[in-house]
């Protein structure tokens, strides 16, 4: 500890024994934040982080079987007790003494130890966690005693992403594998540095990592500022929201994996779908006087303008439809009075488009019901109308690619235009031309029969993660990058 970047004499550090002792107290297994005096390691006996609290009996402790309310009065080492039944006697005070951890004080100590000034501490989220706002543009989260550990980490990840403020996350768990997995689902790897409490002894390492996160933040900001100057306001929107969209998509995926997805999530998914599509295809103000052609459209409709595309591309109006929330598949979807209304909505738009894509975003397929649903819808489709079904995973992959291409500059496309790359998902003929109609989803039973049926339906475009993967691979300068993208998205991220 000789090459510390700050003046050691001013810093109240904790020695390893103290860190160990605190870690011992706050381990999750116990889940308790209150202890008997005997449980306190000797190292901490004089610690100002621990406070004694007397929890005297409220019911008669004098006679087995008597449950009457009682009063008490401290008297030296004992408590003088009288119960409503008239029992009267003394009990040792020791038996009612507890030691509590003052987590606010502990977090201050951690701040001091690491050499960070903490401005204020928010204890409201206790007992799940507390958070200290530092004067160094990041937060320190200390997980306390949550009843649901994963949920708490989710909450912290969401918080960090929404506020776009880096975080140091300190967990009482000794391994952080599961934590990193959750973080990677939130694409929050470059915002959060996670460390077990015991590793607080590695001060240099932690400070170095937080500094790196800070640098990345700064770089991202610079990229965005530059891009704004270069008249790409869409990039600004990307930063202010798409990371969040990806977070939402990933959270749904997470909840679905855990079987915790609420039934109302269908509507939420459609909303996310809508914002994703409008982000991807937001009208460019500089596109030749066509300024806000898209801005008067309702939320559920987005416009792919031919101006943002190479010559001879059709304009497409995307109509994002909502499936009934409590219905897993397309089996019992009412068509008349609902989905035909969506089509009408598209047809009524003042923006004339060559093609109308009737779009559904779904979490899962239910059997092969989408085929018959499409057949029924097809009766209502006009010549320029067709159906596109996006899975949430496919959408999340599109968003990850978009972020790495537009914000992080990590993904290079052959013609450099992201919209052109993903245009095929929304265009009936281009979808076929790009060979995407041959990528069928796995249905388990009767695969060949399903494949044949699907391919016969030219107005049905099913966009799965495999379809997106194939398309991106075809459009990338180095197709190997897709693996990188996938591993960033699906694998636990290493800490910075």
Binding span for Zn ion by CB under 5 A among 13-21, 58-66, 180-188, 330-338? 58-66
Binding span for Zn ion by CB under 5 A among 56-64, 135-143, 211-219, 440-448? 56-64
215 binds Zn ion (CB under 5 A): no
Closest CB to Zn ion among 69 and 204? 69
- Minimum Å gap between C-beta 72 and Zn ion is 12
- Minimum Å gap between C-beta 80 and Zn ion is 14
- Minimum Å gap between C-beta 58 and Zn ion is 12
74 phi and psi, to 5 degrees? -65, 140
Asked if residue 424 lies in contact with residue 471, where contact means CB atoms within 8 angstroms, the answer is yes
Asked if residue 367 lies in contact with residue 373, where contact means CB atoms within 8 angstroms, the answer is no
Give the count of beta carbons closer than 10 Å to the beta carbon of residue 251.
20
256 binds Zn ion (CB under 5 A): no
Cα 358 from Cα 381, distance rounded (Å):
9
- Minimum Å gap between C-beta 91 and Zn ion is 12
- Minimum Å gap between C-beta 78 and Zn ion is 17
- Minimum Å gap between C-beta 36 and Zn ion is 24
Interaction with Zn ion in 399-438: which residues (CB under 5 A)? none
- Minimum Å gap between C-beta 60 and Zn ion is 3
Closest CB to Zn ion among 81 and 361? 81
Closest CB to Zn ion among 63 and 211? 63
Q: Which residue's CB atom is positioned nearest to Zn ion?
A: 60
Closest CB to Zn ion among 91 and 486? 91
Binding span for Zn ion by CB under 5 A among 59-67, 123-131, 249-257, 467-475? 59-67
- Minimum Å gap between C-beta 74 and Zn ion is 19
Among 24, 33, 85, 126, binds Zn ion (CB under 5 A): 85
483 binds Zn ion (CB under 5 A): no
Cα 363 from Cα 356, distance rounded (Å):
23
Closest CB to Zn ion among 68 and 163? 68
Binding span for Zn ion by CB under 5 A among 7-15, 64-72, 112-120, 250-258? 64-72
Paired tokens of 102: 């003052």
- Minimum Å gap between C-beta 53 and Zn ion is 24
66 binds Zn ion (CB under 5 A): yes
- Burial of 76: CB neighbours in 10 Å, binned 0-12, 13-18, 19+: exposed
Among 60, 156, 467, 468, binds Zn ion (CB under 5 A): 60
Q: What angle do CA 204, 209, 211 make, to 5 degrees?
A: 95
Asked if residue 68 lies in contact with residue 85, where contact means CB atoms within 8 angstroms, the answer is yes
Q: Please report the DSSP string for 395-431 in residue order.
A: HHHHHHHHHHHHTS----BSSS-HHHHHHGGG-HHHH
156 binds Zn ion (CB under 5 A): no
Closest CB to Zn ion among 68 and 205? 68
- Minimum Å gap between C-beta 76 and Zn ion is 22
80 binds Zn ion (CB under 5 A): no
Cα 217 from Cα 474, distance rounded (Å):
31
SS3 of residue 221 by DSSP? helix
Among 24, 28, 41, 87, binds Zn ion (CB under 5 A): 87
Among 21, 44, 49, 83, binds Zn ion (CB under 5 A): 83
Asked if residue 99 lies in contact with residue 34, where contact means CB atoms within 8 angstroms, the answer is yes
Nearest in space to 302 (alpha carbons), one of 339, 348, 256, 351: 351
Nearest in space to 273 (alpha carbons), one of 170, 394, 364, 152: 394
Q: How far is CA 340 from the centre of its chain?
A: 34
Cα 336 from Cα 249, distance rounded (Å):
30
Closest CB to Zn ion among 91 and 443? 91
Cα 337 from Cα 332, distance rounded (Å):
14
Cα 212 from Cα 116, distance rounded (Å):
15
- Minimum Å gap between C-beta 69 and Zn ion is 9
Paired tokens of 278: 């409008």
Closest CB to Zn ion among 88 and 366? 88
Q: How many CA atoms lie within 13 A of 85 on its CB side?
A: 13
Q: How many residues bind Zn ion (CB under 5 A)?
A: 7
Give the count of beta carbons closer than 10 Å to the beta carbon of residue 432.
15
Among 4, 15, 16, 68, binds Zn ion (CB under 5 A): 68
Contacts with Zn ion by CB under 5 A lie at 60, 63, 66, 68, 83, 85, 87
């Amino acid at each position: 500890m000789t090459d510390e970047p700050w003046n050691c004499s001013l810093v109240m550090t904790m020695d390893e024994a103290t860190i160990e002792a605190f870690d011992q107290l706050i381990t999750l297994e116990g889940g308790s934040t209150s202890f008997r005096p005997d449980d306190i390691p000797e190292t901490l006996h004089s610690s100002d982080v621990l406070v004694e609290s007397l929890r005297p009996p409220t019911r008669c402790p004098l006679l087995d079987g008597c449950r009457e309310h009682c009063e008490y009065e401290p008297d030296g080492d004992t408590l003088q007790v009288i119960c409503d039944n008239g029992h009267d006697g003394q009990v040792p005070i020791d038996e009612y003494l507890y030691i509590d951890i003052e987590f606010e004080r502990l977090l201050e100590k951690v701040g001091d130890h690491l050499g960070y000034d903490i401005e204020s501490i928010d204890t409201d989220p206790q007992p799940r966690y507390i958070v200290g706002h530092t004067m160094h543009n990041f937060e320190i989260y200390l997980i306390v005693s949550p009843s649901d550990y994963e949920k708490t980490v989710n909450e912290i990840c969401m918080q960090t992403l929404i506020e776009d403020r880096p975080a140091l996350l300190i967990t009482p768990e000794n391994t952080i594998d599961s934590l990193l997995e959750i973080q990677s689902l939130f694409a929050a790897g470059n915002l959060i540095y996670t460390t077990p409490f015991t590793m607080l002894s590695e001060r240099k390492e932690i400070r170095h990592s937080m500094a790196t996160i800070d640098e990345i933040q700064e770089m991202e900001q610079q990229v965005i500022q530059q891009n704004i100057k270069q008249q790409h306001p869409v990039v600004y929107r990307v930063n202010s929201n798409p990371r969040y969209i990806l977070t939402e998509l990933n959270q749904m995926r997470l909840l679905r994996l855990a079987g915790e997805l609420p039934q109302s999530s269908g509507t939420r998914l459609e909303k996310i779908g809508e914002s994703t599509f409008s982000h991807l295809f937001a009208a460019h103000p500089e596109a030749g006087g066509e300024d806000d052609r898209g801005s008067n459209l309702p939320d559920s409709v987005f416009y792919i303008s031919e101006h943002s595309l190479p010559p001879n591309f059709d304009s497409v109006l995307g109509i994002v439809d909502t499936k009934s929330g409590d219905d897993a598949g397309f089996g019992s979807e009412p068509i008349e009075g609902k989905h035909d209304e969506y089509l009408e909505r598209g047809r009524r738009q003042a923006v004339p488009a060559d093609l109308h894509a009737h779009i559904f975003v779904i979490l899962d397929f239910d059997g092969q019901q989408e085929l018959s649903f499409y057949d029924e819808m097809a009766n209502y489709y006009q010549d320029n109308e067709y159906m596109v079904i996006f899975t949430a995973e496919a959408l999340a992959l599109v968003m990850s690619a978009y972020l790495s291409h537009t914000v992080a500059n990590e993904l290079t496309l052959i013609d450099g235009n992201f919209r052109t790359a993903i245009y095929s998902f929304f265009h009936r003929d281009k979808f076929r031309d790009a060979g995407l109609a041959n990528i069928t989803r796995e249905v388990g039973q009767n695969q060949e029969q399903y494949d044949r049926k699907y391919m016969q339906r030219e107005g049905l475009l099913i966009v799965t993660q495999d379809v997106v993967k194939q398309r991106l691979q075809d459009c990338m300068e180095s197709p190997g990058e897709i693996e990188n993208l996938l591993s960033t998205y699906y694998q636990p991220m290493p800490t910075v």
